[in-house]
Amino acid sequence: MTRTTPDRPVAVEAVFPELAAYRGRTTRLHLRPGRPGRHDSHVSGPLLWPSDESWPFCREPHEPKTEGYAPDEIRAARAAGVSPQSRPSPGAGSPGQGGPVPFVGLAQFFGRDVPGLAAGPGGADLVQLFRCPFTHGPHLERRYLLQWRLAAQTERADRFLAAAPEVPLLRWEHELPEPCVLHPEEVDTYPWAEDDTRCLRI
């Protein structure tokens, strides 16, 4: 299914030709719930991860959690259209209780699927985005990680990771992203006047 942005009611450059110099191109991803595969660009689907590579872990200190939501129970509750129940933490020694925790795979984007995706180091054309499942410090900061790859080289791996490691509990149920497929579309964009003082002089 193709998703597109509706035509604008006004051709803005016909009305304000000075804006042509500020035109940019961006890609709208048009996320929709789906069942993406590891060779697809997606949000929260299985990542293209060779099985002989170690999964990334956040090794910063984490505050102990007293309760939370089990990832499998969150998925089951969503499928049934109900809210999951929280449960007590499994206690000291479990992932997230003061030790390293596996990053959550949020998304992966192939250059072949996303127009305008900038190449990464060494010409990498596949980027994978991760987030630590817990917040950090008194200001509840998040930790993110980017993994750049050469798609063709990675797809030649002998075997891929069947399932990513997960923490037993997430603090909030919305911290588990819903698998989504993408319908990328390139659109013209213009800066806000507040973001570029040059536009204020038009």
> b/e map of 61-81 (b: 16 or more CB within 10 Å)?
ebeebeebbbbebbeebeeee
The answer to the question of residue 49 being in a domain is yes
**pLDDT tens digits for range 175-186:** 899 999 999 998
| Domain count along the chain | 1
Q: Quick one: how many helices (H) and strands (E) in the chain? A: 3, 12
Q: What is the CA radius of gyration of the chain?
A: 21
The answer to the question of residue 85 being in a domain is yes
Q: Which domain holds residue 133?
A: 27-187
DSSP string, 96-151: TSSS-EEPEEEEEEETTTSTTPPP-GGG--EEEEEE-SS-BTTTTB--EEEEEE-H
The answer to the question of residue 173 being in a domain is yes
The answer to the question of residue 202 being in a domain is no
The answer to the question of residue 13 being in a domain is no
User: What percent of the chain has a predicted confidence (pLDDT) above 70?
Assistant: 88
Low-confidence ranges of the chain (pLDDT < 50): 197-202
**pLDDT tens digits for range 159-177:** 999 999 988 888 889 889 9
The answer to the question of residue 111 being in a domain is yes
The pTM for the full model equals 0.82
CA 127 to each of CA 19, 20, 116: distance values in angstroms, whole numbers, following the listed order: 32, 31, 13
> b/e map of 185-199 (b: 16 or more CB within 10 Å)?
eeeeebeeeeeeeeb
3-state secondary structure of 43: strand
Cα separation of 165 and 160, whole Å? 13
**Could you count the other beta carbons within 10 Å of the beta carbon of residue 151?**
18
pLDDT value, residue 202: 34
